[in-house]
Amino acid sequence: MKIKMFMRLCFKAMLRGRNKTLLLMGVSMMAVAVSTSLLGLIDDIRLQMENELKVFGPNFVIRPSLGYDQEGISRGCFPFLKRKLKEAEAIYSPCLLGTMQFKGELVGVMGLEIESYQKFSQSFDLEGRWILQPREAMIGQGVAQKFELKLGEPFQWDEYASSFHVCGIFQSGGKEDEQIILRLSEAQEVMGQKNKVSSFLARIPGSLKELEELARKIEGRFPSLKASPIRKVALSEGEILDRIEGLVWMVTLLIFIMTGLTLMATSNALVSERRQEFGLSRVLGASGFHLSLLFYVQALLSSWTAALPGFFLGFWSLDQLVQNLFSVHASFRWELVPVILVFMLVVVLFGGSVAVRRIIKIEPAMVLKGE
């Protein structure tokens, strides 16, 4: 019965001060909407940025440790490596590195699983196309200029009878420009190293810490292997994503601080308007604690009631933003609901603290005399 009466007093007080209540609800709704959009954007940005960045090459490499490099990676390691890379949602390609005699000079050769490697390495300039047919090769710009090779031209190794055709000429700005890329099986055949793999190149989503943890697991299982993130790539990507995430959290915090300040000003105005009502309540036996609780419940009810349309508005804004940025639909993050509601509780406690102190200090006799 007491709770029912208490809630009735709350709702009547909210109706009497409807202008202030509507202002508080409007501010709360916008705070919830903006924070839902921004915090929901963090995961979408991280996911989409990882998808966008994956075309810039591998960020993780597995190779033999010193002393095992001549043997390559043992095929006995393959099932474990492939399982771990699959668990990490990696895109990867086995790789064979070596050299071959071409027109009397040693030229670097890289054998890859082209279909896999193409998914995470499209950052270089390519004239022509990727390897599609047997006996095709992609050559670096440095090799093409040095040996005057052009698109569509055949070439032949000094120590291998079959010829290859140039299907693409690429320029990456790195040492790859001095290499020739072949299919892995054909590179193994040309170099006379059947089934040999010298490394695994992978693009793995995740932070540098997660990549280092995966490297420790691989090295712990196979001491003959050396697994490591490509630190320059992983660090730069991690810094970009961390800065974006930090900026989003900072803006969200500022929004809640502004909401708290607005609530503080509104609450003070409300206490001034209802000063006589609070004084009369004290005369009738209400304690400062009961009046403070009544005030906080009113503010919290107003904020949480406005939170429902705020969540819908925030998700709609998030979906529109994600569609414009990445051409995909956003997914609603239900775990944000309790987080934002707790934030609103903290804002109400902070914003109403000054008003509550004024309520507690009200002297009934002075108020009723009109002073």
For the chain, give me the number of helices (H) and strands (E)?
A: 13, 10
pLDDT digits (tens, 9 = 90+) for 148-174: 999 999 998 888 878 899 999 998 877
Whether the pLDDT of residue 289 is over 60: the answer is yes
Q: What is the mean pLDDT of residues 78-103?
A: 90
What average pLDDT does range 168-192 have in this prediction?
Answer: 89
Confidence of residue 1 (pLDDT cuts 50, 70, 90): very low
Torsion of CA 84, 85, 86, 92, to 10 degrees: -160
pLDDT per residue as tens digits for the range 7-26: 666 666 666 667 777 878 88
Bridge-based pairing of strands 136-140 and 179-183 is antiparallel
- Please tell me the number of Cα atoms within 13 Å of 202 on its side-chain side: 25
The phi, psi pair for 199, rounded to 5°, reads -165, 165
Whole-number Å distance between alpha carbons of 120 and 219: 24
- Strand 136-140 and strand 163-171: the pairing is parallel
What is the three-class DSSP state of 337? Answer: helix
Question: Are 64 and 72 within 8 A, CB to CB?
Answer: yes
Residue whose tokens read 């990549």 = 211
Structure tokens at 355: 């008003």
With beta carbons less than 8 A apart as the criterion, state whether 202 and 90 touch. yes
Q: pLDDT digits over 215-226, tens only? A: 999 999 998 899
pLDDT of residue 185: 92
Q: Is-above-0.85 flag for pTM?
A: no
* Residues in Cβ contact with 195 at an 8 Å cutoff, skipping those fewer than 6 apart: 75, 188
Find the range with the poorest average confidence among 46-60, 303-317, 330-344.
46-60
For residue 41, give both structure tokens: 């954007």
Label residue 367 by pLDDT band (50, 70, 90).
Answer: low
Residue ranges per structural domain of the chain: 2-51+238-368, 60-230
Q: How does DSSP assign 75-125, residue by residue?
A: GGGHHHHHHHHHHTT-EEEEEEEEEEEETTEEEEEEEE-HHHHHHTB--SE
pLDDT in the model for residue 205: 82
Both tokens assigned to 342:
């707790």
